[in-house]
Amino acid sequence: MSIGPLRVGLVAGETSGDTLGAGLIEALRRRRPDAQFFGIAGPRMSAAGCETWESAERLAVMGLFEILGSLPELLRLRRQVRARLIAARPDVFVGIDAPEFNLGLAEGLKAAGLTTVQYVSPQVWAWRQGRVTRIAHAVDLVLCLLPFEQQFYREHDMRAEFVGHPLADQIPLVVDRAAARARLGFPAAAAPDARLIAVLPGSRRGEVERLGSDFAATVQWLRERRPRFEFVAPMANATTRGIFSAALARCAPSVPVQLTDGDAQVALAASDAALVASGTATLEATLTGRPMVVAYRLGALTSFVMRRFGLMKAPYFAQPNLLAGRRIVPELYGSAVTPARLGTELLGLLDDPRRIAELEKEFAGIHIALRRGASERAAEAVLALVEGRS
């Protein structure tokens, strides 16, 4: 490690990576007040003191083939960032999520003699397991958010630490539902047949383009059958808000839906149940104890290749199901994602109080297992790696 302030290069992908990065920056600064941070960051990382070279939103692309349209720009950006990081010579580079971008970047940085970390394991245990060899070449340490990931890496002779999930630390074990409803302007108590449904169609443009219309049509389907249902939809950014607003105008023109800027945790805490795109939001729903129906849809070509070559190894894709080791919430994929299926599954949850009670108990256990002081543990692991190499 160089003499002087700790210098950390960071690249975060989209909203969830920005949140993780901000927590890591704050935890590292508590240990090393003189630490300096720079790289690709979102607004929370910038507010925490990261010098922002580019916006994290530029990396919000998913899918094997959906990325192709953005590939030239992403490759050019990666070359530029790699050159800047090699010139800056940080004590450590931490890639946060965005594995398709960060692993290639880390590989070049490690070859140039830099210490490299991947914060958030790629879902290598779920699909394209052959990537583990590339990960071993690219990074010195993987910081895992889920407990079963550490064992996977150890079986492949890689250094990995399970740090827990920052969301489990941030979200209280018992959420104040009345306060959340008040914040959104919904009454704390409602008529027996009234329900508030949180609708989260995704944080990436591609997700909302693929799921937005079906989610909006499900809102219409539910309202026709349960006229007292109300809906709140937290939007990750202006782009996704515009896409989903258009979908609502087409598919549910007569249904009032409260769109919020962010505040997903508030919307979930206030709701009776949630309709959620697969991803971090399913974990947020789990940690707020909300029954949910999860949907997942990739582009047609990506889906075909994954099926054709058996790339998907995990039995589930929804995080609560993965963490429980069994199917505890409904998850619908591809052509199964229809308004009738989504709506029927959601009503099945809401109309079964015993099932809801069982889910709440299961979710509480998951919350406790993940509540480990993740940002603090991640900071300690990064510093131990850096100091061990000094």
- Looking at the structure, tell me whether residues 200 and 221 fall in a common domain: yes
Q: Over the range 354-377, which residues count as b (16 or more CB within 10 Å of their CB) and which as e?
A: eebeebeebbeebbeebbbebbbb
The pLDDT of 62-68, averaged and rounded, is: 46
- Looking at the structure, tell me whether residues 321 and 175 fall in a common domain: yes
With 70 as the cut, is the pLDDT of residue 232 above it?
yes
Per DSSP, 310 falls in state T
Instruction: Tell me whether residue 16 is in a domain.
Output: yes
Residue 66's pLDDT is 47
With 70 as the cut, is the pLDDT of residue 119 above it?
yes
- Looking at the structure, tell me whether residues 296 and 226 fall in a common domain: yes
Rounded to whole angstroms, the Cα distance separating 87 from 205 reads 33
- Looking at the structure, tell me whether residues 180 and 216 fall in a common domain: yes
Instruction: Tell me whether residue 183 is in a domain.
Output: yes
% of the chain beyond a pLDDT of 70: 90
pLDDT band at 187 (very low <50, low <70, confident <90, very high): confident
- pLDDT, tens digit, 9 for 90 and up, residues 328-387: 999 999 889 999 999 999 999 999 999 999 999 999 999 999 999 999 999 999 999 999
For residue 264, the enclosing domain spans 170-370
Alpha carbon separation from 110 to 106, 117, 279 (Å, rounded): 6, 10, 29
Residues contacting 390, CB < 8 A, separation 6+:
1
Rounded to whole angstroms, the Cα distance separating 358 from 345 reads 16
The pLDDT of 280-288, averaged and rounded, is: 95
Residues contacting 189, CB < 8 A, separation 6+:
none
Instruction: Tell me whether residue 1 is in a domain.
Output: no
Instruction: Tell me whether residue 51 is in a domain.
Output: yes
Instruction: Tell me whether residue 2 is in a domain.
Output: no
With 90 as the cut, is the pLDDT of residue 311 above it?
no
Residue 3's pLDDT is 66
pLDDT band at 307 (very low <50, low <70, confident <90, very high): low
- Looking at the structure, tell me whether residues 383 and 297 fall in a common domain: no
With 60 as the cut, is the pLDDT of residue 127 above it?
no
User: What is the total count of domains within the chain?
Assistant: 2
Residue 128's pLDDT is 56
- Looking at the structure, tell me whether residues 220 and 108 fall in a common domain: no
Rounded to whole angstroms, the Cα distance separating 274 from 61 reads 24
Per DSSP, 136 falls in state H
Full 3-state SS string of 159-193: CEEECCCHHHHHCCCCCCHHHHHHHHCCCCCCCCC
User: Within a 10 A sphere around the Cβ of 3, how many other Cβ atoms?
Assistant: 5
- Mean pLDDT, the chain, rounded, equals 90
Residue 46's pLDDT is 97
- Looking at the structure, tell me whether residues 325 and 260 fall in a common domain: yes
- Looking at the structure, tell me whether residues 291 and 310 fall in a common domain: yes
- Looking at the structure, tell me whether residues 22 and 114 fall in a common domain: yes
Instruction: Tell me whether residue 376 is in a domain.
Output: yes
- Looking at the structure, tell me whether residues 384 and 346 fall in a common domain: no
CATH number, domain with residue 40:
3.40.50.2000
- Looking at the structure, tell me whether residues 157 and 176 fall in a common domain: no
Q: Tell me the one-letter amino acid at 22.
A: A
Instruction: Tell me whether residue 266 is in a domain.
Output: yes
Region for residue 14 given its phi and psi (left: phi exceeds 0; alpha: psi -120 to 50; beta: otherwise): left
- Looking at the structure, tell me whether residues 160 and 190 fall in a common domain: no
